[in-house]
Structure 1
């Protein structure tokens, strides 16, 4: 099987994988910057590109029990964060089908401020 297709985002404020530089998400797709990942701060995104979704598992996170799946970069295969598949508490349903990317796992392409 060959390399997966790499999406190339265009615009001025794009996040990329900090390890290999492949595009991941637009700044405009951030839902929240107040999340916590395994290695520190994380952002919640509406959509991301160039990632693979792993196996579903239930995890107890700060906000309760969720079904999640880790996401990996399609190019360098580093784990970037996770996708929320299901939230079991009504107040957390807004997270479903959204993505967490840890801040240390991404960079701002072209160093925008």
Structure 2
């Protein structure tokens, strides 16, 4: 039956635009600006803002806020650069705030 429903997705909580696949979750143990957040390997239908250096819980990172391409809601950020060797795995990955996304096809 699952093959008729389609893949489990996360969508923008504001407009419903598809943002990422459940299979792209790397970790659910992250902290965003507004509470819990998930680390994803890929995201779609987003626009990245300007890069900026930000001091996060795990140190200094260069990040770019990501916005829904339909409604422009800020959903989280993309890690552009990690300055500490132990954090390099985050580069090119996406933080999506749990409060900003909704599940589809569950």
TM-score (norm 2): 0.93
**SS state at 1:93 partner:** helix
**SS state at 1:20 partner:** coil
Structure with greater strand share of residues? 2
5+ residue gaps, structure 1, are 1-9
Which residue in the other structure is 1:5 paired with?
none
Match of 1:101 among 92, 96, 100: 96
Match of 1:53 among 29, 32, 48: 48
5+ residue gaps, structure 2, are none
RMSD of the alignment, in Å? 1.0
Match of 2:73 among 75, 78, 87: 78
Which residue in the other structure is 1:24 paired with?
19
State how far apart, in whole Å, the 2-side matches of 1:12 and 1:31 are: 17
